[in-house]
Structure 1
Amino acid sequence: MSHSTEEFKIFGQKWGVSQVAQTTGGTVTYSYANANFGNQFADFDSFITEDAFQTDITSAFAAWEDVANVQFKLVSDSSNVDIRIGWANIDGEGGTLGAAIVPSSGPLDNVIIRFDRDENWFTGGSSPPSQTDFVYVATHEIGHAIGIDHSTDTSALMSEFYNRDISGLQADDIAAAEAIYGSSNIEKIDVFRFLNSSVGGHFFTAETSEKDSVVASSVFQSEGIGFEALSQTATDVELSIPIYRFFNKNLGSHFFTASEEEKSQVELMDEFNFEGVGFRAFNEDTASTEPVYRFFNINTGGHFFTADSNEQAAVMNFEGFRFEGVGFYAYLNTDIA
């Protein structure tokens, strides 16, 4: 509480190897508590098992991850998790909505976030006046859990009092997070998807010039943006990995892999030409990433990728496709046309 910049306030504590301001927070783990441990700062009275509340919490972590140089990873609950989350019987409906309990001094560690079980919660955002927006409160309490105190700016989400007219992080909130961790170093790029109807396969590219050439071709049908990833040069982004691209000379299609071992094996196959790094993505999931699923087409010998969970579920029922799991993690395209 001793540090103040503009209208926001920060504790002077942070996540990460360094406690120096504007340095990365690294990867912070979080879990949905399923037990109380003797060394925790406060006990939970019950546990958050409902999908809707967990989805809102993930969205709240993603909001901070999108603006500051810190990442959040969901893990199984244990006493060693960085931020543990659950319900508490705080003071009944109204009054205190939630609380984040952090160490009184030193680096952030073993933080507890408790939400009042008895509130009239609304999940999914944009709550009606009669209910309390859970994602708003979750984002606020996570702000405390990463080192941000209450702001004197009443238009900030980190203001002390709940304000249903505020939606999402405001400029003062973002400035606070950047003051602690620096701004996010993630610059997303579009990965475009095309259908080659002549061979029944899909083509992906992150290169705008290549995309323009493919658009001009009568062979391919544009299917928009498949997902968002990182450029080939984004090697400084924590957890990011190269996604290698090969051209199958026999099929006339492309193959992508995040596996170094698989890359080495495919390089030995005569039918494949190695084309380098197509883009970068992640081999671990964080609050703001989504799985990109991989299928093998047993009829054509090609591979199919999708970041759409509904499409993944549909393709699982196609006899001609064998599910190969998660190929890597990337970002959904959330732009509205």
Structure 2
Amino acid sequence: MADYVLEGPRWGAGARGTSGGTVTWAIDAALPAAFASVIQSAFATWASVANISFQQVASTATANIDLTQGAIDGLGNTLGYASYNFSGQRMSAATVTFDSAEGWRASGSKVVSNQGTDFYLVALHEIGHALGLDHYNGKPEVMNSIISPAITGLMAGDIAGIQALYGAAPAAPPVSTVTPPAPVSPAQPTASASGVTAVYRFYDASTGDHFYTTSTAEKAQILKTLPSYQYEGVGWATPQDGPNTIDVFRFYNTKTGQHFFTTDAAERDTILKTLPSYHYEGVAFEAYASAAAAGAGGVTLERFYNTQTGLHHYAANAAEAAAINQGSAGPGWVDEGRAFTVHIPTDGMLFA
């Protein structure tokens, strides 16, 4: 027996199990603008497991899914509800309403109700309805009719249900590559201007997160669909996979919309076991196994963690690291030491 229940209609013109295409969404003036980042994270969570994408637009007048806040039934009862219109088996419009009596407010990196309910989980649940999932109470899941504080993210039944409607999320776009340099001995530097790949840097104004990718396809998709992501150019460059390189693993925190990068396989495995909100996105790019392997063009990034916001930041030079340690970036930053070694960008990459 399936661990999910479908409401019937879905987005997109195809049959169940095929792509839902791109669905637009917007929040109206009744919801604080600060809540947008949490809602964005909820949409991103569904998109990370199913073949459907979402784009925030400025006005509810043009959006497929409207999100608002209004009086429903008082504190601690119905937290929100979703309604939709459809024709045949195809969704045409949906509205998600959050109960204003819950007293939603920012608390650290979260938005919570007066009773401590996580707004992210409510948004995840109601968006699930707007995508075509009904309540299921056979086992603990996001789509249970009563939200459990033990649930922190999508469960197996939630994922199975959304994939029954739209299929699995497509594989991440391939990492861009360049022709590798001629083989050299391990004692020699492995980097050269023709043997490194540009890393594009974005700043997410809604979360304060920095995001890095070597994929030109992913870069183009972000520029097209994520208006809160501000392109900041080429941050650094990475080497080609080889005997003197190590993998840099990428995670996406579905609760906060933030990204995390690490070269530590043990840290990766601990996150996979203990942090269910961290969605593993695979190997982001390569780094040098040591500063010596990078040669004269190498730069070792310093990793910082903000205890107040949960953000990680990777300082690209000693001056930036010193400034953060001296408080120039604000309170809460803890220096976690060296992260990984990459390469300074070449002139040809500066305007990529």
- TM-score normalised to structure 2 length: 0.55
- Cα distance in 2 for partners of 1:169, 1:139 equals 8
**1:26 matched to which residue of 2?**
21
- Cα distance in 1 for partners of 2:152, 2:139 equals 13
Deviation at 1:180, TM superposition (A): 0.2
* Cα distance change, pair 207–132 in 1 and its aligned pair in 2 (3 A): farther
Whether the 8 Å CA contact 1:292–1:305 is kept in 2: the answer is no
Deviations 1:263-309 (A, max 9, x none): xxxxxxxxxxxxxxxxxx4541249x944333xxxxxxxxx458xxx
**2:2 matched to which residue of 1?**
6
Deviation at 1:93, TM superposition (A): 0.7
Residue 17 of structure 1: which of 13, 20, 23 is its match?
13
Deviations 1:185-209 (A, max 9, x none): 132556xxxxxxxxxxxxxx64696
Deviation at 1:136, TM superposition (A): 0.5
Whether the 8 Å CA contact 2:79–2:102 is kept in 1: the answer is yes
**1:103 matched to which residue of 2?**
85
Q: After superposition, where does 1:80-159 map in structure 2 within 5 Å?
A: 80-103=62-85, 106=88, 107-121=90-104, 123=106, 124-125=109-110, 130-159=115-144
**1:180 matched to which residue of 2?**
165
Q: Which moved more, 1:88-97 or 1:125-134?
A: 125-134
Q: Which runs of 5+ in 2 are unaligned?
A: 202-211, 237-256, 265-352
- Report sequence identity in percent: 28
The reply to whether residue 72 of structure 1 matches residue 54 of structure 2 is yes
* Cα distance change, pair 217–178 in 1 and its aligned pair in 2 (3 A): same
* Cα distance change, pair 221–28 in 1 and its aligned pair in 2 (3 A): closer
Q: Which moved more, 1:94-103 or 1:77-86?
A: 77-86
Deviations 1:60-106 (A, max 9, x none): 00000111011110112143320001101111111000000112663
Deviation at 1:7, TM superposition (A): 1.9
Q: Which runs of 5+ in 1 are unaligned?
A: 35-46, 191-204, 233-239, 244-257, 259-280, 295-303, 307-330
Amino acid at match of 2:191: S
* Cα distance change, pair 50–283 in 1 and its aligned pair in 2 (3 A): closer
* Cα distance change, pair 333–206 in 1 and its aligned pair in 2 (3 A): farther
The reply to whether residue 167 of structure 1 matches residue 152 of structure 2 is yes
Amino acid at match of 1:10: L
Q: How many residues align?
A: 225
**1:309 matched to which residue of 2?**
none
* Cα distance change, pair 292–154 in 1 and its aligned pair in 2 (3 A): same
The reply to whether residue 284 of structure 1 matches residue 224 of structure 2 is yes
Q: After superposition, where does 1:291-310 map in structure 2 within 5 Å?
A: 291-294=230-233, 304=234
- Cα distance in 2 for partners of 1:7, 1:148 equals 11
Amino acid at match of 1:217: A
Whether the 8 Å CA contact 2:135–2:143 is kept in 1: the answer is yes
- Cα distance in 1 for partners of 2:73, 2:225 equals 35
- TM-score normalised to structure 1 length: 0.57
Whether the 8 Å CA contact 2:85–2:94 is kept in 1: the answer is yes
Q: After superposition, where does 1:229-268 map in structure 2 within 5 Å?
A: 230=215
- Cα distance in 1 for partners of 2:192, 2:213 equals 25
* Cα distance change, pair 73–221 in 1 and its aligned pair in 2 (3 A): closer
- Cα distance in 1 for partners of 2:74, 2:136 equals 25
* Cα distance change, pair 80–223 in 1 and its aligned pair in 2 (3 A): closer
| Greater helix content | 2
Whether the 8 Å CA contact 2:200–2:235 is kept in 1: the answer is no
> What is the aligned-residue RMSD (CA, Å)?
3.7
Deviation at 1:222, TM superposition (A): 11
- Cα distance in 2 for partners of 1:144, 1:151 equals 11
* Cα distance change, pair 174–125 in 1 and its aligned pair in 2 (3 A): farther
